[in-house]
Chains A and B, each alone.
Chain A
Amino acid sequence: MTTTASIRNKHTGELDSKLVFRPKSRGYFPKGLCLAASLLIIIMLAVILGNIVIGGYHIISWDFLSSPPENGMESGGIFPAIFGTVVLVILMTIAVIPIGVFTAIYLQEYTRPEAHITQLIRMAINNLAAVPSIVFGLFGLGFFIGFIGNGIDSIFYSSEGPVWGQPAILWASLTLAVLTLPIVIVSTEEALRTIPCELKEASYALGATKLQTIWRVILPQAMPGILTGAILAVSRGAGEVAPIMFTGAAYYLPYLPGALNDQFMELGYHIYVMATQSPDIEATKPILYGTVLVLLGLTFALNFMAILIRSRLRLRRINA
């Protein structure tokens, strides 16, 4: 029987001596260790969150959220950073969603999973997901600013100073789009897999072409999954600092970014700047904690939304 064979030692074929069980042991020790590990993680999470909430909640007010920093960041609010973050992730979403969704559709609808091309693309996606964020920063600087930006400048604006060949919100958002591409692809694919085959067959039976089926049947059905992907991407993008340090984030700007080649302030970068470069760290601390709380609240709210949508998606799959 195969099941017995599997408990035999792989090499000798003899019964593994470890598998001579003492039936009475209740296993409190290993269970306890694993429980302790879980508890420790939960406690650490609680300490971090508790510390940030206690340090930051009292400063959060409408004023704080809606006014710019003042007096060397020792007073005032963080509105430009919130605004910059929002615009940044909107631009990023516009760039990443179509590419991510169509890649997923190609992988799910047009190719067989064991095809070489599928595996190659899949490998690229996995690798892209593992590239360190600082490397994306280097890439953004070298490719978007150095190559594309300077290229545009030398063709269209050769007489002026750099117009596009400098850090800007467009380049930062494109860099983040590359970084979040795997997230969108994976979650769209997950949604595509839940679509019942019958739906597609029905569509074909009615004479629709493949493209029409994708456009009218598959995409609407996959919407929750795409939305989940977008939300997760936004949540990830909003928290990344290393890729935007060289590609567009600014220490302080008195105005909001108004053009695609403006620099911008961003919550994560603002935290980094205040934690390390603010003039008076004690005076800045409440604002620092407040900013951390806002960023954390933002990413958690987004993640929570994604989890909700995803669990509804799972339910649909089970029902189907």
Chain B
Amino acid sequence: MKRMKFKPKSKVHEFLGEKLIAINAFAALIAIVLIFAFIFKEAIPILTDPEIQQEASIDKMTFKQEFYEGRDPKWSWQPNSEVPKYSVLPLVIGTLKAALVAMLFAIPLGVGAAIFSAEFASRRWREIIKPAIEMLAGIPSVVLGFFALIVLATIMQDMFGFLFRLNAVTAGIALGLAVIPIVFTIAEDAMTSVPISLRDAGLALGANQWQVSLTVVLPAALPGIAAGVVLGFGRAIGETMIVLMASGNAAIVSASLTDSMRTISASIAAELAEVVFGSAHYNVLFFLGTLLFIFTFLTNLGGELAVTKLKRRLQGRLS
């Protein structure tokens, strides 16, 4: 009997070792739960504490408020005013504007480059593009923010004559640079994992290489590309340093992409250091953090669903 050869001591070792490893494996799960718990904890007073709610309640943060008697109700983010104003709308608009520009910029470039790399590029080209994308991904966001603030903003203003030097377009493009690697990597992965039998079928029907790429491979890989886009969007929403440095940080309710804007993430970064712990402002900033967390959680879920769909689709066709 083989089992009898083991000393009892090593059985205990074995048992403890496995349990320790198992407990340790839950670290990521625990971390994600703790993150949510500790951020949400500081946001709870907005929902429960009447004293805090006088300054900032969900209602006050969402809808137009008549802050001064006789003046038109409006949305406004002015936390350090005599009458503190915590409308989230200007920040949400700013966040979405920057993310929109970033995606408009990153999707064509990222997907285009991914198609090129996966389908058309010669080996030598691929050996240039892939490291270039990895380098782009390796640039810390504070460096991109620095570049946008010092160099890009001036170039853009000279080229397009923007009224505001720092605006949604400039910040969005810098943000796009951070998003391109995500879109590229996932889209390229999806396309290279399309089975060869599909391509062969296309070729057998008389299509050219490029026709197969665009009409067979691309549609098959579409869920993967969608996943890249969704995850990229999540990154664009949550990215902080770039928008903090390059967006002008003015909380304006406006649809114009050439106005300055202020994002949720930049507001947290700019204001958190100052607030007194436990004040309404402090709770509001953690509430914003909760919003960001939930939003990226959802985009991530969407991305994962898309990837699962892709896998199922490709496997289904193989069989």
User: Taking beta carbons and an 8 Å cutoff, which residues of A are in contact with B?
Assistant: 2-4, 6-7, 16, 18-19, 21, 23, 25-27, 30-31, 33-38, 40-42, 44-45, 48-49, 51-52, 98-99, 102-103, 105-107, 110, 120-121, 123-128, 130-139, 141-143, 146-147, 178, 181-182, 185, 207, 209-211, 235, 238-242, 245-246, 268-269, 271-272, 275-276, 285, 288, 292, 295-296, 299-300, 303, 307
Interface of A is mostly: helix
Check if B208 sits within 8 Å of A21, measured CB to CB: yes
Check if A127 sits within 8 Å of B147, measured CB to CB: no
Q: A124-B31, A299-B138, A300-B135 are in contact. Are A35 and B238 (CB under 8 A)?
A: no
Check if A45 sits within 8 Å of B136, measured CB to CB: yes
Check if B140 sits within 8 Å of A240, measured CB to CB: yes
Check if A134 sits within 8 Å of B238, measured CB to CB: yes
Which one of B177, B245, B268 contacts A134 once the chains associate, using CB atoms below 8 Å?
A: B268
Bound together, the chains give a CA A106 to CA B61 distance in angstroms of 45
Residues of A within 8 A of B180 (CB): 41
Q: A131-B238, A181-B31 known; 19 other A-B pairs, CB under 8 Å?
A: A2-B197, A3-B201, A6-B317, A34-B119, A34-B120, A37-B112, A48-B177, A51-B147, A125-B28, A128-B35, A130-B235, A132-B293, A209-B10, A246-B273, A269-B142, A272-B146, A275-B150, A296-B143, A307-B131
Task: Give, as a whole number of angstroms, the nearest-CB distance from B308 to chain A.
Answer: 11
Interface of B is mostly: helix
**7 A-B pairs with the lowest CB-CB distances in the bound complex, closest first:** A132-B238, A239-B140, A37-B112, A27-B210, A106-B25, A3-B201, A34-B116
Check if A142 sits within 8 Å of B28, measured CB to CB: no
- From B110, B131, B140, B304, name the one whose CB has the most chain A CB atoms within 10 angstroms: B140
- Answer yes or no: B24 CB below 8 A from chain A CBs: yes
- Answer yes or no: B300 CB below 8 A from chain A CBs: yes
Bound together, the chains give a CA A138 to CA B121 distance in angstroms of 43
Contacting A at CB under 8 A, from B206-225, are 206-211, 213-216
Q: A21-B211, A37-B109, A137-B269 are in contact. Are A106 and B293 (CB under 8 A)?
A: no
Contacting A at CB under 8 A, from B227-259, are 231, 234-235, 237-241, 244-245
Check if B241 sits within 8 Å of A110, measured CB to CB: no
Which one of B14, B28, B149 contacts A182 once the chains associate, using CB atoms below 8 Å?
A: B28
5 pairs, CB–CB < 8 Å, chain A vs chain B: A21-B207, A34-B112, A110-B22, A130-B303, A142-B39
Check if A30 sits within 8 Å of B214, measured CB to CB: yes
Bound together, the chains give a CA A271 to CA B209 distance in angstroms of 48
Task: Give, as a whole number of angstroms, the nearest-CB distance from B212 to chain A.
Answer: 9
Q: A37-B108, A211-B13, A307-B134 are in contact. Are A241 and B142 (CB under 8 A)?
A: yes
Contacting A at CB under 8 A, from B296-315, are 296-297, 299-300, 303-304
CB-based nearest B residue for A243 = B240
Residues of B within 8 A of A6 (CB): 198, 201, 317
Bound together, the chains give a CA A210 to CA B11 distance in angstroms of 10
Residues of A within 8 A of B32 (CB): 124, 127-128, 131
Check if A272 sits within 8 Å of B142, measured CB to CB: yes
- Answer yes or no: B159 CB below 8 A from chain A CBs: no
Bound together, the chains give a CA A299 to CA B141 distance in angstroms of 12
- Answer yes or no: B29 CB below 8 A from chain A CBs: yes
Check if B38 sits within 8 Å of A147, measured CB to CB: yes
Residues of B within 8 A of A136 (CB): 35
